[in-house]
Amino acid sequence: MQKIDISLQQTNFIKGLAILAVVLLHILAYPRGIYHGEWQLFFVGLDQLARFCVPAFIMLSGYGLAFKAQKDGGTGPYLNFLKTRLGKLLPLYLLWSFSSILIVKSIPAWSFGNQPTSLVVQLLLGQADYQLYFLPVIFQLYAIFPLIWHYRQKIGLVLLLALLVQVGLYLFYNLQISHSDRYEYVFAPSWIGYFVLGVYLKLASLPKLLLRLAPWLSLGLFIFLSLQVTNQIRAGLDPLPALKFTKLIIIPFTILLNLSLLQINLTEKTLGKILAWLGQNSYLIFLAHTIALRFIYALLTKQLPPSQLLGTFLLWLATLYLHQQLQNSEKFATIKTHSKGGIA
């Protein structure tokens, strides 16, 4: 058995890779027909390889919370725990949600399919923009972490139950006719296995053989997954449900790939430093990049008149400025000071 200790540098390295993968997935959504064209297998493979990103962020969140709880001797009073955790993320989430709502309302062409019209639904379920579902998921996982921590002495059993819940949900999702996967993603149990795995990695050990085989097993699953999805699309399946996160084979693939990444040490090399910087700024990149991609696409395709683009671009810049002001405020500085010794 081998214990995995994830350093702050490794955390930022993996977050850097993961945020690049997030941006890549969203870039791939723009070109039309790439999943049916001559380079079909290449683009399907690129998409599926990048799917490690959300599981990586969730796994690291679980590990970070377990790190801090172990260091502090527990989670403390439940409401104080939630206040501390949400206080770091919620203001910036609300800032970018309202900014996205204003920008998308001013340019209807930038709305995404079946976007809810209710402001309450958009804020509660992360539907102000298509990537924001991740924050309500994290909020839900934070809310149940103290319960998971309470049963930390049986973390192996908790991990097994979490994976069974996730597998059961994925089986249920695969029976659905709808091509929309939005509400699959906003439901925290859809990601619970990755979160508890992060807690498990802090508290327990994994077989050395599994860690040695992880890169090769993930490579084999990646090849199988890419060929399977390509064949499904060629058989007439819409790319959206074919490529989505909530497929059974994605679970072992992303777990094994993330275990492989945990064994790479690039922290002292130039590439490692670049990825670490991206990881340190991954929250800002995550919140801001979807609007930025729309601007780039609009400029390249001459989708909108310059005057309309300018107004929304100025609003986006103002949101960036407010983001920095909030992040550098005394409240955020205090939170950062308390968590500097860990990776929570």
Whether 85 and 138 have beta carbons less than 8 Å apart is answered as no
Note the pLDDT of residue 336. 46
CA dihedral sign, ordered 332, 54, 34, 45: positive
Least confidently predicted of 50-64, 299-313, 330-344 = 330-344
pLDDT higher than 70, residue 268: no
> Cα 308 to the chain's mean position, in Å?
31
Note the pLDDT of residue 9. 86
Note the pLDDT of residue 181. 75
Comparison of pLDDT for 339 and 149, the residue scoring more: 149
Whether 2 and 211 have beta carbons less than 8 Å apart is answered as yes
Place of tokens 């493979």: 45
Comparison of pLDDT for 149 and 121, the residue scoring more: 149
> What are the start-end ranges of the H helices in the chain?
8-27, 40-49, 53-72, 78-106, 119-125, 134-150, 155-174, 182-185, 192-203, 208-234, 239-243, 250-261, 270-280, 282-301, 306-327, 330-339
CA distances from 52 to 47, 49, 99, 248, 306 (A): 10, 7, 28, 14, 37
Work out the pLDDT band at 316, boundaries 50, 70, 90: very high
Work out the pLDDT band at 221, boundaries 50, 70, 90: very high
The pLDDT mean for the chain works out to 89
Place of tokens 């090769």: 216
pLDDT higher than 60, residue 332: no
Place of tokens 């619970």: 192
> What six digits make up the tokens of 68?
């801090």
pLDDT higher than 60, residue 215: yes
Work out the pLDDT band at 70, boundaries 50, 70, 90: very high
d(C-alpha 318, C-alpha 100), whole Å:
12
